[in-house]
Structure formats: C-alpha cells, structure tokens
Structure 1
Amino acid sequence: MKLVYFFCGGMKLGAEREDTERILNLCLKYGIIYKDLKLGPGSITLECSMYTAELLRLACAERGISLWVVEKYGLPVILRRYKRRVGVLVGLILAAVLVFLSERFVWDIRITGCENIEENDVILQLGEQNFRIGSYIPTLDVDVIENRFLINSEDIAWISINLRGSVAYVEIREKTKKPEPKNHVPANLIAARDGQIEAIEATSGKPVVKVGDHVRQGDLLVSGVYDSSVWGYRYTRAEGAVYARTSREIHVEIPLEYEVKRYSGEEHTETALIFFSKEIKLYRNTGFLSGTYDTICSVEDICLFDGTRLPLSLARTVYRWYTKETATRSAGQAAELAYAELDRQIAELTLGGAQLLRKSISWLLTENSYRLDCNLTLIENIALTSEFEVVE
C-alpha cells in the first residue's frame, strides 16, 4: 500500500463495464491518478485516494455515470471508526511520528545471494543474533553479528551486512555442499517388479541374469558377492541399472456427484496494524464464529514512493461463509477429468525414466462414476538396492 493511500485514505470504486472508456477519459481530463483497474464480467473496479475519488464521483454524477463506493480504507477511516478510543488514536499518531522521524531503527532487511536457501531462513538466522526489523541501529555491532552468524550457520560461507539509512542490505554466499561419502555397505540389486530383462548396466557387482530372462519381484539381479576358489568370498556393493520390459495397470475413477462450496456473500474482516513486530488490533473481538467459512489472511506492506518498505504493514483476516452442496458433472466432464489424471500418472512414470512402449485404455460409465482402466507396457529400471549383513 502506498503511503499516500494510507495516511490520506483510499477508496475502491465500482462502475458498469460499459462506462469504462468514459471514466478513463475523465481521469485523463482531470489528471486523476488511479491504480489497480480490474475488469469484471459486468463491472470494473479501480482505486484512488479519497480526495481524487470524490472528484471522480462528482464528475461522473454530472454526466449521469453510475459510480459507487466498494470500500474505504486508510488512516482517516480508522480514525473515524475509533474516534472514541483515545488510546488507539494516540498510538496511531505516535506511530506516524516515529515513521517520519526515526532513522535509528532497522526498517527493512533485503537479502541477496540466495540460491538454495529461502530468504526467510536467513532472516530467522539473523534474528537469532538479535538483528531484525526494529533493531536499534546504534547498538548493532555488524562485525560481531556477521562472525556469530557464520559460526552458527551450516549453509552460508560468507555474509556482508551494509546499513544504508534504515535499510539493511545483506549479501550472502552459500557453502558448496560436499558430495555425500560413498556407501560401502555390501548390497545386492534385486527386482522391484516382474519383467523381462532388456539391458544390464552394472557398474559394480556380479550380474546373475542375462538379457531375455524373465524375473519376478524380489529375484536377484546383480550380486554383491564374488566367490573365488583362490581368494574365497569377497563382498561389494552392487550398483547400476537393470532395464526390463514391464507391465503396469492404472485405474482412474471420477465420481459423477461431488461437493462444491456455495458462498453466501457474508464476510467479516479483521484488520490489524503491525508496527515493527508489534500488532495493534483495529477491531473488536467477535468471539467464536459459528458456521463453516474460509479464512483468508494477507499482510500488505506500506512503502514509500521509492519502494522502500516501512516498518508498518496492515494484516487482514477475511472470513467468508459458505455451505456445501452436491453437484453433478456430465459424463463428458468426468471423462475429461479422468483422462487428465491418467495423463498425469503416465507423465510421472516417463519423467522418472521409464520408456512407454504401448498402452491400451478401456472405459466404463456407471450410474455413479466414470472409470478408466489402462494397461501399460514399459521399459524401466527395476534394480532395487538390498543391503545385507556379512556374518564372519
């Protein structure tokens, strides 16, 4: 949320879609700045400050254009809503003063250099060293924080923290992970499923099957035991791949009746102002909410015009009530869903390295569902590592 919309207040306006061009022409004519123009099936919405919204409403009224208020938000709305709650008003005024005058606290932390690590994980690790949004800058010893961070981090090899005003720019370099040590526990390769051997690519161990052999699940494919009349038994870890022609069955069933949510249109919104890490509730406790509803949570940062994030944000929780109803899909819709699910399962197999040779599909429509039965012929790696213990 732009700072001007918060402190001056903003309006979300709605209008008929057919009036879109006339409204935009009025905005251009009178220099009205708007944002978040959204086109709906029969209407549009846009947002602007309260002052420019009133100008636009007046201009539309003079020309017979229907324009209505969808939502009002911002500090003026909050002040009117809580004008009798002096403590809240004083707190908001003090927060506004701190936002404009304070340059001695960390307002924002920006992370660069993350490749395999989430930025939030880095921020959490910085927090463990007492470096977070809201930290008092004069008490921060950046060198000590960097050293302690590296001592306690297993994933980061280098870190640099640069404070520019109230924004902390953190640059990191991740550690190059060492390859895991090779496992030397003796093992065989056994068949994960039934099939006919097509190719053997054993990098270690002694193959005990040959191309063309039929094997069953659990049969030995590559042995980790070498038997020598001179040296006796020698044990190794059999490794490699054994490709076989296999058969698989996939069954997909889509019910014709299913449950859907029907929203009643009833909504309840709870808003809170987050200043640094402190939450100020801007709503009255409603107690236990009855019925079935979805909960939608969002946090909207408040930024300066140059995009710098302030230590202020608005947290909204929206409750939307609904009822569950039974709906019926047509046979064609069920078939479309069934084939999509079948394609997804086949794609999982092929992406895993299996080669599809042939497939046959049959379908069955009953009173309650649409069913697909698919038989696949594949070439896939059926080698499964099975470790064993050597008893001397």
Structure 2
Amino acid sequence: MLRRLVRYLLGTLRVDVTGGDSERFLNRCLEEGILLWDLRRTPERLDATMMLADFFRLRPIARAARCRVRIREREGLPFLIRRLRRRPFLLAGAAGSLAVLIWAGSHIWVVDARINGPGYLDPRAVLAAAAEAGLRKGAWKARVDVNHVTQHLKSRVEELSWAVVRVDGTRAVIEVVEKGAVKPPDQALCVHLVARKAGVVEQVIPFQGEPLVKKGDLVQPGDMLVECALRYWAGGRPLVLPGMPLPPRADLARTVVAQATVRARVAYRQYYEYPAVEQVKEPTGRRHVQWVLNWNGRSII
C-alpha cells in the first residue's frame, strides 16, 4: 500500500519499447538501476511500467540498444497537477467548496430546546438564556463553552431544576427539567419512590423528597429510592472538616410526594430448554421414480 502511494505521488509511466534488441535494453536498465515492473512482451513490442524520474535516463540506453521508447499511459500526482493548471477556475472552485464545507462544519446552525416537566416554561426563554451565554445559531463551536452555558441556564432561569447541553456536529440540543408546579399535597400524605426492578444505580436526579441511594448502589425490587420526607438539621448546617461527609438530616420538615428520575443498569435472564436428542432430516441422495397416468383431471397409478 505504501509503495503504491509513493509511486502515485512521484508519477509513473507505461511505455512501449519497439525495435532493436530488447534483451540488451533490459540489461542496461538493470545496470543503471532503472526499475521496471509489470513487463509484458509480444513479438512486436515490450510493455513496461516505470517511474517518471527514470524516463529521462532512457535516451542513451535506447540509443545503444537501437530501440524506440514511446509513452502510452501517464498516471500520478504530477500529471494531475499539470492538468489542473490548465483549469484554474476548476481548482479555485474545488478549493472554495472545501473551505465553505470546513467553515460550515465548524459552526452551530440548529439549536433545539427539550423541556421535561409540567410544560409551563416557554422554550423561547431557554433559547434566549442560552444565546446570552454564546450558544446561538451561527455560533462558532470552538467559542461555545458547554459547561458555562449549563451554569448560566441554571442561574438565569429559576424554573429549571436540571439542565444539560450537547453539541453533535452542527446541532446543539438543550435538555432541561422544569421544576414541579404541582401544589404540595396534604401533610399526612406521604408517597415514597421505590424500585420496580433490581439493578445498579447509574444516575439520580431528585425533584422532591430525600434521595436514599447514589450512583453505584445495588437495589432490589421494593427498595426505597427517594423518601417522601424533607429533612433538615436541627440548629442549622453542621461544620465538618473538608473531605468528610455531612451527617444525616434526622429532623422532619414536612412530607411530600417523592419525585425523581433514577436510572439503573438492569440485567435480564432468559431460560430455554432443548431436548437431549434431536431428530434432523438429512437428504440421502436416493431417488424413487413413479409413473402416473393423468386422465380427465385424475391421476391413475
């Protein structure tokens, strides 16, 4: 592969050698270090392929062997460049088209806002806040900081509880979760969020309630994921050393309906039974011929 690439970059020629002593011509090429390949000999001529740089060294060899060398085919980058020089507008158009494609691919042309929640938030508000942070149609992708846009959305739009920005090619997608607009239920009503299947927790996004699991925890069906109570620390937030976890909040503030998005990796198992002995039909190759007499739509053996 590398050899073919080098030959294409340097250029190759397909030549016809006629007349004279072709054996002497080949021997002299070998002595001079001229590489010939893909040789084909006929009673009238000798066909060979050679490098472009070696062609200019053939004149004394052909004269000594009394042969005539004629170029039949040209292939390689030097000949392509020579043809393109004759068509400057074609070359300029190709270079301009490539530049336009590179320029268009380095910008964002589509910005979508996907809102999950009650539906009271206008998508235009999310797009306007993203535009303030630099994410808009026609923005250069290298100048768009996804983390900065996410933080700006959370601080600018108070109705958001979670936001993420993804850039895929020339398309940007803003996914946000709107805060629950449902009125708090009766204080006596308490609804927990429990697991339906066994799995390993991958992501926890709480909306209401106290989360009891975190990423990497193993849960079983029926395990409580989010508690329906909002808890706090009596006497305010305690002081702890950096790197140490906070103590659990034990005092009950009020009860709510637990709401959260919990994603987990779930495994499924399937069970099949196969017989110990299975009958398989295989053709034996034997033939059976039977003559049948058909008359009036009936078969008579």
Q: Normalising by structure 1, report the TM-score.
A: 0.24
Q: Max radius of gyration: which structure?
A: 2
Q: Normalising by structure 2, report the TM-score.
A: 0.30
